[in-house]
Amino acid sequence: MSMEYAIQARGLSKHFGELRAVSDLDLNVPRGQIYGFLGPNGSGKSTTIRMLCGLLTPTTGSADVLGTKIPGSSSLLKPKIGYMTQKFSLFGDMSVRENLQFISEIYSFPRADRKRRIDELLEKYDLIPQRSQMTDTMSGGQKQRLALACAVLHRPELLLLDEPTSAVDPQSRRDFWANLFRLAQAGTTILVSTHYMDEAERCHRLAILDRGMKVADGTPQQLQTETGMHILEVIADDPYAAQAAIDDRAEIASVTQLGVRLRVLIAERHSDPLEIVRDALSARGVSGTTQMGAPSLEDVFVAVTMKPEDRAK
């Protein structure tokens, strides 16, 4: 394995009977970066993470995670990784400090350093006021900070996060990502799955998964410049009528309403996308303004996950 990468996977697949949860996945996750998995529920994000940390055995393919072969001696990997699940999985009838103490014992953290490390984490993750509180009574954001503190207590080289912000408010999400950037800056490699576009944009690199397959991989900026689509914005007095008119044209790959605006995707092989949309509106007598737009990560996601027949339009 190259020292440049924390994770390298080749042909990684997982089947559950007839269901192909993950198919022929290749990954290169650079060390010290935040690498994102973006995809809807059922796209294979959680299954992939569980294979990479040794909780699931791949049906085919293999991975090298921090120098440990998967499948193989996953027990050698466990002290090097931290894992945070989507569902809060700590002990609700124990206090914050007791949970941290218990985790320190699980990881055989040096006894002489446990109190110092726990105090450090309580301060770093703003949990000092809750240190004696039962975790069942904590808010979603507080539980999230505690779960992250437990996941990094033993100073792992690799942190695996499975949709960690799905149950918290926007401010807690922003605070959580600030903590992730600090960890990455200190050298921790982070693999995080999400279905939030704004979170995916924060990653240094990301892979988009769809129906168990990787359909795009790169930096957010690279992916946005390589959609293969013209992006247009339409503002109309009657957006519903405008959408119906535009959708009727064979060249239209996708049209989505965002408030009072329509977001239109047309394959780049069509040389005059503005004329296509304006003609469609004019033919139905719909008034509106049409202009070219800059691609967003959501446009990328729509483009790479659309049906082949729509992408070929």
Q: How confident is the model at residue 309 (pLDDT cuts 50, 70, 90)?
A: low
Question: Do residue 10 and residue 124 come from a single domain?
Answer: yes
What's the domain count of the chain?
2
pLDDT for res 42 = 87
Residue range of the domain that includes 253: 227-311
pLDDT for res 251 = 93
Residue range 3-26, pLDDT digits in tens: 699 999 999 999 999 999 999 999
Question: Do residue 140 and residue 207 come from a single domain?
Answer: yes
Rounded mean pLDDT of 114-143?
Answer: 93
169 or 47: which leads in pLDDT = 47
Phi, psi of 232 (to 5 degrees): -125, 150
Question: Do residue 40 and residue 74 come from a single domain?
Answer: yes
pLDDT for res 259 = 83
Question: Do residue 24 and residue 154 come from a single domain?
Answer: yes
Rounded mean pLDDT of 85-97?
Answer: 85
Q: How confident is the model at residue 237 (pLDDT cuts 50, 70, 90)?
A: confident
- Contact predicate 80/66, CB 8 Å: yes
Q: How confident is the model at residue 312 (pLDDT cuts 50, 70, 90)?
A: low
Domain end marker among 218, 237, 270: 218
pLDDT for res 168 = 78
Domain end marker among 218, 249, 269: 218
Residue 304 has pLDDT above 80, yes or no: yes
Residue range 281-296, pLDDT digits in tens: 999 999 999 999 999 9
pLDDT for res 78 = 87
Question: Do residue 214 and residue 233 come from a single domain?
Answer: no
pLDDT for res 263 = 96
Question: Do residue 32 and residue 104 come from a single domain?
Answer: yes
Distances (CA, A) of 84 to 7, 52, 171, 300: 18, 13, 19, 27
CA pair distance 278, 39, nearest whole angstrom: 33
Residue 214: name the closest of 293, 131, 305 by CA: 305
Question: Do residue 171 and residue 301 come from a single domain?
Answer: no
Question: Do residue 99 and residue 193 come from a single domain?
Answer: yes
Please report, for the domain that includes residue 250, its CATH number. Answer: 3.30.70.980
Domain end marker among 218, 235, 264: 218
Q: Sign of the CA dihedral 302, 169, 154, 120?
A: positive
129 or 170: which leads in pLDDT = 129
Please report, for the domain that includes residue 199, its CATH number. Answer: 3.40.50.300
Question: Do residue 117 and residue 40 come from a single domain?
Answer: yes
Question: Do residue 176 and residue 204 come from a single domain?
Answer: yes
Question: Do residue 58 and residue 198 come from a single domain?
Answer: yes
Question: Do residue 204 and residue 72 come from a single domain?
Answer: yes
